[in-house]
Amino acid sequence: MPKIGPNNFIIKKIRTVLSQNPEGIWVRKISRVTQIPFSTVLFYLKNHMSKEVEVVKTPLHIYKLFKLKDSENLPTSQEAPSPRKLGGEA
């Protein structure tokens, strides 16, 4: 039986929630918002999205928050960056 790859629909839903929370979000909250089981969200974050997300630890290291890496938040080639982003004056 051939291996089944990651579900792109699940990845898209998780990525959407992460992009709406640039400061980071708990896995359980991602699970609630997307209505995807907690274990599935954690599996996808660790195994299929590890190159595009980073873990942010809270000050007391009690909670782990996940967020998109900074390179994901940069403007795309279709968007013109503002002068302020380039270090110039606006």
**Is the full-model pTM beyond 0.85?**
no
pLDDT of res. 71: 58
More confident residue, 6 or 60: 6
CATH number for the domain that contains residue 56: 1.10.10.10
Look at residue 56 and tell me if it is in a domain.
Answer: yes
Look at residue 35 and tell me if it is in a domain.
Answer: yes
pLDDT of res. 83: 45
How many domains does the chain fold into? 1
pLDDT of res. 60: 75
Domain that residue 52 falls in: 8-70
**Cross-strand partners of 57:** 64
Look at residue 82 and tell me if it is in a domain.
Answer: no
Look at residue 77 and tell me if it is in a domain.
Answer: no
